């Protein structure tokens, strides 16, 4: 194995009781690579993401991140290791402003001997937020505004901006534009392009064929809990992918699956 692999899963499997939600997924992601995960509802996309990010515990298999086998006890472990996830349900606190949300749970503080009553370093957090937003090209009219006063697109951008602010090693986005309008979707896609230019690896879970063909280098298709295709963007097209998603075709190396 070459050492430019960021994430690798071997035989990653998840059973919910008798339901085989994910079966023997062998997946690799290289440095700077953007990979899309596609598949029908219930194909195992989200299950796959949940095993990697520690939201759930896998039944079997290995996850190798940044060269080391990892066992994340929870999403926080994964985040500390450098995997930043933008979940379908945005994990934002509505009554707090942008820096508060970016730094929630890992605030910059002063006078740390005060324990839970240590002081927040608002100034440093604001500066880091502005830097992070500039880096991703996220535009938010006023970072002191609370999340409840923001549009869906802006909220999504705030969630994504965490990635840039904390220099994560891997970003995972679970349908980031599912609930957004045309312009807001364009804004999020621009951020993804910025991440690509910066060489930040990304896993994008999406249903949007145009978006996927526009943005990523490689497309992995799941069907009924199994990986059925691993396609380079240049070597495939929309119709081909749909054939894999619906089960009309199965990749040669995945014969025998599903």
Partner 1 sequence: MADTSHGTGGLTFDKSKRSWPNELNILLALVIIIAIFEIIGQVAPYMNGQSFLFDTKDRFDSIFNEARLQIIILQVAIIGIIALGVTQVIITAGIDLSSGPLVAATAMIAMSFGQTELVNGFPNPKALFGTWAMDLPVIVPVVIGLAFGACIGAINGTFIAYFRIPPFIATLGMFLICRGIALWWSGGNPISFPTESYAWIGSGMMPVVWFIILAIIFQLIMSYTVYGKHTYAIGSNEEAARMSGINVRRHKVMVYTIAAMLAAFAGIVLSSKAVTAQAGMGEFYELFAIAMAVIGGISLQGGRGSIIGTVLGAMVLGVIRSGFTYIKLDGSYQLMAMGGIIIAAVILDQYRQRNKA
| Among the listed residues 18, 141, 199, 256, the single contact to partner 1 using CB under 8 A | 141
Nearest to 257 by CA among 138, 191, 147, 247: 247
The phi, psi pair for 181, rounded to 5°, reads -80, 180
Q: Does 100 bind partner 1 (CB under 8 A)?
A: yes
Closest separation in Å from C-beta 60 to partner 1: 26
Q: Does 140 bind partner 1 (CB under 8 A)?
A: yes
Stretch that binds partner 1, among 90-98, 213-221, 225-233, 244-252 (CB under 8 A): 90-98
Closest separation in Å from C-beta 181 to partner 1: 7
The sign of the dihedral angle between the CA atoms of 94, 96, 98, 103 is: negative
Contact between 224 and 258 under an 8 Å Cβ cutoff? The reply is: yes
Cβ-count burial of 225 within 10 angstroms (0-12 exposed, 13-18 middle, 19+ buried)? buried
**Within 13 A of 253's CA, how many CA atoms are on the CB side?**
9
| Among the listed residues 181, 210, 237, 248, the single contact to partner 1 using CB under 8 A | 181
Binding track, positions 191-230, relative to partner 1; x by CB under 8 A: ----------------------------------------
Cross-strand pairs, 193: none
| Among the listed residues 143, 202, 204, 205, the single contact to partner 1 using CB under 8 A | 143
The enclosing H or E element of 77 equals helix 75-81
Closest separation in Å from C-beta 41 to partner 1: 22
Give the separation between CA 33 and CA 31, rounded to whole angstroms.
5
Give the separation between CA 110 and CA 157, rounded to whole angstroms.
28
The structure tokens listed for 192 are 């993804």
Give the separation between CA 232 and CA 249, rounded to whole angstroms.
16
Binding track, positions 104-133, relative to partner 1; x by CB under 8 A: xxxx-x----x-xxxxx---------x--x
Closest separation in Å from C-beta 144 to partner 1: 9
Q: How many residues sit in the footprint of partner 1 (CB under 8 A)?
A: 46
Q: Which is nearer to partner 1, 168 or 187 (CB)?
A: 187
Nearest to 81 by CA among 54, 108, 102: 54
| Among the listed residues 60, 71, 123, 139, the single contact to partner 1 using CB under 8 A | 139
The enclosing H or E element of 8 equals strand 5-16
Stretch that binds partner 1, among 1-9, 61-69, 93-101, 197-205 (CB under 8 A): 93-101
Closest separation in Å from C-beta 226 to partner 1: 29
Task: Give Cα 86 distance to the centre of its chain.
Answer: 5
Binding site for partner 1 (CB under 8 A): 75-76, 79, 87, 89-96, 100-101, 104-107, 109, 114, 116-120, 130, 133-134, 138-143, 145, 148-149, 151, 153-154, 181, 183-184, 186-187, 190
């Amino acid at each position: 194995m070459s050492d430019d692999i960021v994430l690798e899963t071997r035989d990653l499997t998840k059973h919910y009781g008798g339901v085989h939600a994910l079966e023997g997924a062998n997946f690799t992601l290289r440095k700077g690579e953007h990979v899309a995960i596609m598949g029908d509802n219930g194909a195992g996309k989200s299950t796959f993401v949940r095993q990697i990010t520690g939201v759930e515990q896998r039944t079997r298999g290995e996850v190798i991140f940044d060269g080391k086998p990892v066992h994340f006890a929870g999403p926080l472990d994964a985040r500390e290791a450098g995997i930043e996830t933008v979940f379908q349900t945005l994990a934002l606190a509505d009554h707090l402003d942008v820096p508060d949300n970016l730094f929630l749970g890992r605030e910059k503080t002063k006078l740390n001997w005060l324990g839970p009553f240590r002081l927040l370093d608002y100034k440093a957090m604001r500066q880091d937020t502005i830097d992070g937003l500039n880096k991703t090209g996220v535009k938010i009219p006023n970072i002191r505004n609370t999340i409840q006063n923001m549009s869906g697109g802006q909220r999504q951008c705030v969630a994504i901006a965490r990635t840039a602010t904390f220099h994560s090693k891997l970003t995972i986005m679970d349908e980031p534009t599912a609930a957004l309008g045309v312009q807001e979707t364009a804004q999020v896609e621009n951020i993804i392009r910025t991440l690509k230019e910066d060489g930040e690896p990304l896993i994008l879970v999406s249903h949007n064929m145009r978006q996927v063909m526009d943005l990523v280098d490689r497309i992995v298709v799941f069907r009924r809990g199994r990986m059925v295709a691993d396609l380079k963007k240049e070597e495939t097209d929309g119709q081909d992918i749909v054939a894999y998603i619906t089960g009309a075709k199965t990749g040669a190396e995945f014969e025998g699956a599903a």
